Chains A and B, each alone.
Chain A
Amino acid sequence: DTEVTQTPKHLVMGMTNKKSLKCEQHMGHRAMYWYKQKAKKPPELMFVYSYEKLSINESVPSRFSPECPNSSLLNLHLHALQPEDSALYLCASSHSAAVSYNEQFFGPGTRLTVL
């Protein structure tokens, strides 16, 4: 199994809602990532988990809250989002985050719209 899955594919939420994005991989990877991608822009790194511990937080607002329940799962909890948070949210995984040579495998993304 060489894929990263993400649910849901699409999500529409109001600014007062609480929702969660889910990501799963079964490749035995110990690093998982959340990226945000706006239209016609490259992915922007949000968080990196290494061995289920948060290793990098790229100064992301607290309305985004990541969670890594185990080595295969990664969640992104959303609360009180703003319309400018509408974007494609991509999850990725790699063998390890501790070295720079690993390719990252990406999921198909969740397209989020905040009304």
Chain B
Amino acid sequence: AQKVTQAQTEISVVEKEDVTLDCVYETRDTTYYLFWYKQPPSGELVFLIRRNSFDEQNEISGRYSWNFQKSTSSFNFTITASQVVDSAVYFCALSEGYNFNKFYFGSGTKLNVKP
């Protein structure tokens, strides 16, 4: 079974629209870590955020915000007032327990922001 599911394969929005990228995870560990990465067309994965399983506070960083809900095993990512530069593939990833730093990536969501 897939540990991280990103059901949205591709999303297209017009600049200045808000957009939410969904991430649902599955783990039996009580300690785990969730990550979001951005991969622009250049190819490099850029780290955006890490959240641990004991901290359910939502986080806001500029136009980016993250909603972590353990009850639904979700860690969703919202971009407010999207810009063309936000166009990229976004990956959600899970790292479990006190194990090796092994990431389970979701399949990614491609975001197209049109001017």
Contact = CB atoms under 8 A, between A and B. Distances in A.
Contacts of B35: 103
B109 to A, nearest CB: 11
Interface residues of B, number: 27
Given A108-B44, A109-B44, A42 B101 contact: no
Given A100-B33, A100-B98, A90 B103 contact: no
Interface in A40-97: 40-43, 45, 48, 50, 55-56, 88, 90, 92, 94, 96-97
Contacts of B95: 100-101
Contact of A104 (B32, B103, B107): B103
Interface residues of A, number: 29
Interface in B33-68: 33, 35, 37, 42-47, 50, 52
Given A42-B106, A42-B108, A101 B52 contact: yes
B45 A56 contact: no
B32, B43, B105 interface centre (most CB from chain A within 10 Å): B43
Contacts of A42: 91, 105-108
A88 B97 CA distance: 29
Interface of A: 31, 40-43, 45, 48, 50, 55-56, 88, 90, 92, 94, 96-109, 111
Interface of B: 31-33, 35, 37, 42-47, 50, 52, 91, 95-103, 105-108
